[in-house]
Amino acid sequence: MDAISNPFDVRLAFVLDDEARLGAALCKVLASIGIESRQFVDADAFLGQLEPCNPDLVFLDLALGQSDAIEVIHQLEARRFKGRVMLISGRDMGTLLEVERIGKAHGLTMLPSLPKPFRIADIKECLQPSPALQPDQPEDDDVVGAEAIRLKA
């Protein structure tokens, strides 16, 4: 196993979100804080790489086009996934909390959910970050989400 070179105890993160631009933005944020990541826009490709790559963390959107987070949670349980899972979505917090509860009931280690759009600081807080930022890293109040991407484009 590769050495972990970030304060978050994460070697590899998978991002599963059917919004490709948002997934790419999240991967960029993860890279800026020292976390290697891989982006997926569909559940089948994600599940195909899960066992060979064995990520420490999964960012999981609730709505995935032809699939959804509940189906992925069932697959994570079936594959005995031991990493952490963080739900991300633009849906209401009640829905996020319910799906988080379902994940826990299926034996998954669920981190606090992140409603979209979210700030870089929110990601760091959920991952128990080190307080120091490097000069080339994005500021903590930068927003990541569909609206923010449209504003910056």
pLDDT digits over 24-45, tens only? 999 998 998 889 999 999 999 9
Domain borders along the chain are 12-152
Partners of 57 in beta bridges: 13, 84
pTM higher than the cut 0.75: yes
Q: How confident is the model at residue 90 (pLDDT cuts 50, 70, 90)?
A: confident
Mean pLDDT of the region 133-152? 46
pLDDT greater at residue 117 or residue 99 = 99
pLDDT (0 to 100) of residue 141? 53
pLDDT of residue 76: 97
Q: pLDDT per residue over 103-112, tens digit each?
A: 999 999 999 8
- Residues 6+ away with beta carbon under 8 Å from 3: 11
* DSSP, res 108: -
* Better-predicted residue by pLDDT, 55 or 2: 55
What is the crossing angle of helices 69-78 and 93-105, to 10°? 20
User: 9: pLDDT confidence band, cut at 50, 70 and 90?
Assistant: confident
Q: What is the mean pLDDT of residues 135-143?
A: 50
Strands (E) in the chain, as ranges, are 12-16, 36-40, 57-61, 63-64, 67-68, 84-89, 109-110, 114-115, 118-119, 143-144
CATH topology of domain 12-152: Rossmann fold (3.40.50)
